Amino acid sequence: MSDTLRDLQTEVTAWADSVYPGRSFNSIVLKLEEELKEIKDSGYADPEEYADTLILLFDLASAYGIDIAAAVRAKIEKNKTRVWAIDPETEIMHHIEDGNADAN
C-alpha cells in the first residue's frame, strides 16, 4: 500500500499503463466526467466513486508530467493567501482578485 500521494500517483499510473496503454488525454478526461456524474448520482455517498475520480486525476496528471503532490501543496499554499467569497446565487466559492470573483 502506498503511503504518499506521489507513491499513489506512481502506482495508479503503472496500473493504468498495464490495463489501457493506448489511452489519450481526452479519453481520461471523458472517463473522469463520467465518474464525476456517478458521484452526484450516488447521492455523494459512494467512496468508490471518489476513488475513481482521484485515480483518473492522478493518471491525467502523470500523462502531463505533473507531480500531483507538489501541485496540491503549491496550490493550497497559494489559496491560503487569497480572500474567498461565496456567490449567494450559485453557492460556488471563488477567490476575489481586484474586487472580482475568479474561478481559479
- Reported pTM: 0.83
Model pLDDT, residue 2: 47
- Model confidence at 101: pLDDT above 70: no
Separation between Cα atoms, residue 86 and residue 83, nearest integer Å: 11
Give strand pairing partners of 77.
Answer: none
Percent of the chain with pLDDT over 90: 89
Mean pLDDT confidence for 3-25: 95
- Average pLDDT over the chain, rounded to an integer: 92
CB distance 30 to 59 below 8 Å: no
